[in-house]
Amino acid sequence: MTETIHEVDVAVIGGGQAGLASGYFLTKRGYRPHRDFVIFDRSPRPGGAWQHVWRSVRLISPPHYTRLPGLPWERPFHGPPSGDEVADYLAHYEQHFQLPVLRPATVHQVTNDGSDPTITRTTPLLITTDQGTWRARAIINATGTWDAPFIPAVPGIGDFRGRQLHAAHYDTPHEFAGHRVIVVGGGHSALQILAELSTVADTLWVTRRPPEFRTTPLTEAELVGITRAVAAHAASGRPLRSVVSYTKLIETPEVAAARERGALNPRPMFHRITPHGVAWNDGTTEHADTILWATGFRPVLAHLAPLRLRSPHGGIALADTHAAIDPRIHLVGYGPSASMISVHRAAATAARVLAASRPQPTT
């Protein structure tokens, strides 16, 4: 029995902020939901990665930038919004514009259609999912990073007898009350978690590089400059750098309180893990009940591996929003568009380029 292959012009992979913004701009370019494009989302509910974050997480970006195109966020901005608030807004956005999200739908791989070894920009793509197989002229990859938490390879990591977890699996500080917790990482996630953990636990902060703090809020000009710097880096095909390497750390009132408690005294990265803690090469050791890895995430791109998009440097070189070596593949929410602030332009650009290159119906 021959498998039915569903036909669309564009398949959007990812139902978070980047996928929804892309869907919005595709509809503005005349794409019909479900007929001309679909959005695959592996989560069972709307809300993107924000539905999975820990309870106290707060969006760092300025409130007036915290929205997606076409729909203002009707909320009084009494401080940065929580993860639940962002997830609820994304769910409302999806329903408001009636975007064609299929969920839960996991994309297993994207391959070229047919056996012809000559691949051109008109070669169709096959998207294999647990909801069937789809054929598309192009895809917008909007899978983000949440599903690929990164933990560095440290000698002895398998010998530790305490608990280890990544920030992706952290929920509240109360389960660590009275424990000795080592928080590893130099980004905003590490800082936010450390600030609240240090109210109930004995904490130690470990960072690979000395942390740098900002003394003033990010300006619009700085945000534009950062986006351009990230775009130049992504265009080179090198692996992406952390966001905090561009923005530096922002000291919230909670972080300032942690500083007063003496919790913000970072130690350099340890060299190995022991059964009961960590150790440095100078012989210094520290006991730990828990090691919490706030060491970031990697882009979720394994399903694109058959297309061989990676450069010799290890990343995917971008030409504006599409892969430099394959204009059929647009990446939104990757590199310079990996935030709610910057996703607007990338989603609009991808939709415009795809609409302009769309084959006209024959008469």
Residue-wise pLDDT for 198-238, tens only, equals 999 999 999 999 998 887 777 777 777 777 877 787 777 78
Pairing mode, if any, of strands 277-279 and 272-274? antiparallel
Helix segments in 178-219, DSSP class H: 188-197
Cβ burial of 313 (10 Å; 0-12, 13-18, 19+) is exposed
Q: In the structure, what pLDDT confidence band is assigned to residue 363 with cuts at 50, 70 and 90?
A: very low
pLDDT at 60 over 70: no
Q: Looking at the chain, how many residues does it have?
A: 363
Q: Residues with Cβ < 8 Å from 117, sequence gap 6 or more? A: none
Tell me if the pTM is above 0.85: yes
Greater confidence (65 vs 313) lies with: 313
pLDDT in tens, 251-266: 888 889 999 999 999 9
Q: Is the pLDDT of residue 241 over 70?
A: yes
Range in 76-85, 176-185, 325-334, 340-349 the model is least confident about: 76-85
Q: Which residues of 69-90 are buried (b: 16+ CB within 10 A; e: fewer)?
A: beeebeeeeeebbbbebbbbbb
Judged by phi (left if over 0) then psi (alpha if -120 to 50, else beta), residue 299 lies in beta
pLDDT of residue 254: 87
Structure tokens that stand for 349 in this block: 């650009």
- Give the residue with greater pLDDT, 159 vs 82: 159
**Phi–psi pair at 289, nearest 5 degrees:** -85, -35
